[in-house]
Amino acid sequence: MISFKNVAKKFGPSIIALEDINLEIQEGEFVFLVGPSGAGKSTLLRLLSREYLPTSGKVLVAGEDLAKIKSSQIPLYRRKIGFVFQDFKLLEDRTVFENVALSLQVRGIIDHEIDKEVEKTLKLFEIWERRNLFPRQLSGGEAQRTAIARAVIGKPKVVLADEPTGDLDPQTAWSVIQLLGEINSWGTTVVMATHNKEIVDTQKRRVVSLKEGKIIKDNKEGKYEIH
Amino acid sequence: MVIFNFVKKNIRRTPYQALTATMAMFLAFLAFSSFLLLALGSQKVLRFYESKPQTIAFFKDGTKNEDIQAIQDALNSTGRVTKFKYVSKEEALEIYRERNKNNPMLLELVTANILPASLEISALTPDDLKPIAEVLRKEPVVEEVVFPEDVVAQLAQATKFIRTIGGSIVGFLITFSTIIIVMIIGFKIRLKREEIETMKLMGASTWFIRMPFIIEGIIYALIGAIIGWLANYFMIWYFEPILVDGNNLFYFEISQILLPVSPIFMLELLMAQVVVAILVGGLGSLLAVRRYLHL
């Protein structure tokens, strides 16, 4: 599903963000990316979102070389991916319902279909009661659930989550992980960058450890190891 | 529909900027429609005088019909005349009464005796007016000769002046308004940079992101244009009775040519302003989008 082949990413001549990355992620996998700050986790996710292009090597998603996607086709590619962020990135002047609906609106889906789909998703994520509230009126957990609902309502093949539990209390963080696990159980590939040792250690999922831009460990049922 | 919801939220979120943009647009379009009306009006007056070249000879009291007939024969022989119209003292009084029907004071003071009889001579072309006037001035029974050679020259000069100055002012204001739109839309784009980034990651197309900003610019220009047009319509309505007032002969003559302003013409003016507004608003916001929105 996702393939990094000899990927390097440099910023300017001296800053090496990623180096010699070879990584294969199968369809339906749940992968944790761990590592200290500056290890290259976010850069790796940004290569997948096609915000960055690799300096060398290839990044392929579903067999498609991301460097070869034309600018006009990037939105179509991104509709296959769901993004979840640490700071939620919800649109502040839109309600929960509108934030989630936006994901379908950008796809050009008709209003009637959007209403039905958003209702179904918000009920599934247990935030239907909060549909008319604005992001500032939500708790951290509710905001993140809204963000995840927005990420998955378009039925993406891959969900990229960049520190989704970073701003949440432990209990809420666990509920977010359960939610991502459930999404993974539908067959969606989930790649999650995190610093949360407790979550990684108890999940018994594949863990890719990065350090100074290189993969130092890649274990099937790994632990949080960054040395 | 989605894009219009975005526009609505953008405007509601920054109402003072929206007000500033609309007011700048209003001033620009008020000036635009005012100068356009002035230019078209003066052009129409000029054409009227040019298309109806006419000399008027006022006769001394006691002028006989034979004298007038002799003058008509002399003028006919020049081949420069298309029509004669004799206005007797009584007819002149009727015209005077009609023009001053709202002013009883003026009506009381004037009788047919103090008004001169006159002969209106329509010429083939404006160039014929001067030779006709020269013939008339030699006639001893003619008290005064009036022909609009000077009026035409002055009107032509005034029309040129209005076009040049008005065009320059309108050009400046349109440029100024476009820059205001660029600044306001540019500011809004910077304000929403994070949202735009999020929308890009959600797979929003370039035009899905750009279009609300472009429509917003067009809406400001359209509202300004419509309010400017309404203000002009109001001014015409307000000043019409003053122009029609018969006390000032010049105003009266002008008002006969220009008024009432046809609603069809005003609708055409509105349409013209709407087109210009779409161009100004669209161009301004498009420039802002190209300058500040890197997708």
Over the stretch B200-259, which tens digit does the pLDDT of each residue have? 999 999 888 999 999 999 999 999 999 999 998 898 888 877 766 656 666 666 777 777
Spell out the domains of chain B, with CATH numbers in brackets. Answer: 2-49+152-292 (no CATH), 54-147 (3.30.70.3040)
Q: Are A217 and A35 in contact (CB under 8 A)?
A: no
Residue of A nearest to B9 (CA): A93
Q: How far apart are the C-alpha atoms of A222 and A32, rounded to whole Å?
A: 9
| A106/B contact by beta carbon, under 8 A | yes
The partner residue sitting opposite B203, judged by closest CB among A91, A94, A106, is A106
pLDDT over 70 at B51, yes or no? no
Chain-chain contact of A75 with B201 (C-beta, under 8 angstroms): no
What is the arithmetic mean of pLDDT over B263-285?
91
CA-nearest residue of chain B to A50?
A: B201
Q: Enumerate the residues of chain B whose CB falls inside 8 A of the CB of residue A49.
A: 201
Confidence at residue B122, expressed as pLDDT on a 0 to 100 scale: 84
What are the backbone dihedrals phi and psi of residue B143, each rounded to the nearest 5 degrees, phi first? -80, -45
Q: Which of A72, A78, A111 sits opposite B201 (nearest CB)?
A: A78
Q: What percent of chain A has pLDDT over 70?
A: 100
Q: What is the Cα–Cα distance from A223 to B48, expressed in whole angstroms?
A: 94
**For testing the chain A interface, which of B194, B200, B201, B211 should be mutated: the one with the most A CBs within 10 Å?**
B201
- Asked if A111 is an interface residue toward chain B (Cβ–Cβ < 8 A), one would say yes
Residue A115 confidence class, pLDDT cut points 50, 70, 90 = very high
* Domains of chain A in sequence order: 1-80+156-227 (3.40.50.300), 92-154 (no CATH)
- Nearest CA among B124, B165, B160 for reference residue B46: B160
Task: Say which DSSP state B248 is in.
Answer: S
Judge whether residue B171 has pLDDT over 80: yes
Q: Do B202 and A103 touch (CB under 8 A)?
A: yes
Residue B50 is predicted with a pLDDT of: 67
Touching check for A76 and chain B: CB below 8 Å?
yes
Is A78 in the B-facing interface, judged by CB distances under 8 Å? yes
Contact (CB<8Å) A106/B13:
no
* Whole-angstrom distance, CA of residue A48 vs CA of residue A66: 8
Reported ipTM: 0.86
Token pair for residue B136?
């008339």
Contact A75/B206, CB-based, under 8 Å?
Answer: yes
Interface residues of chain B, partner chain A, Cβ below 8 Å: 1-2, 9, 13, 194-195, 197-206, 208
Residues B6 and B220: their CA atoms lie apart, in Å, by 15
Beta pairing, strands B81-87 & B118-123: antiparallel
**Computed from CA positions of residues B274, B275, B278, B279, in that sequence, does the dihedral angle turn out positive or negative?**
negative
Q: Is A73 on the interface with B (CB under 8 A)?
A: no
pLDDT of res. B150? 65
Under 8 Å between Cβ of B54 and B147: yes
Q: Looking at the predicted structure, is the pLDDT value of residue B39 above 60? A: yes
Joined together, the tokens standing for residue A197 give 């040792």
pLDDT digits (tens, 9 = 90+) for B63-85: 888 888 888 888 888 888 888 88
Mean pLDDT of chain B: 83
Give yes or no for a contact between B210 and B64, defined as CB atoms under 8 angstroms apart: no
Could you identify the residue written with the tokens 């008027």? B56
- Mapped onto helix, strand or coil, the DSSP state of residue B141 is coil
Are the beta carbons of A93 and B13 separated by less than 8 Å?
A: yes
- Residue B53 above 70 pLDDT? no
Query: What is the per-residue pLDDT across A131-161, written as a single tens digit (0 to 9) for each?
Result: 999 999 999 889 999 999 999 999 999 999 9
Among chain A residues, CA nearest to B11: A93
- A91 near B CB under 8 A: yes
Taking a C-beta distance cutoff of 8 angstroms, is the pair A44, A34 a contact? no
Q: Quote the pLDDT of residue B151.
A: 66
Of A83, A91, A111, which is closest to B201 when you measure between CB atoms?
A83
- A150 CB near a chain B CB, below 8 Å? yes
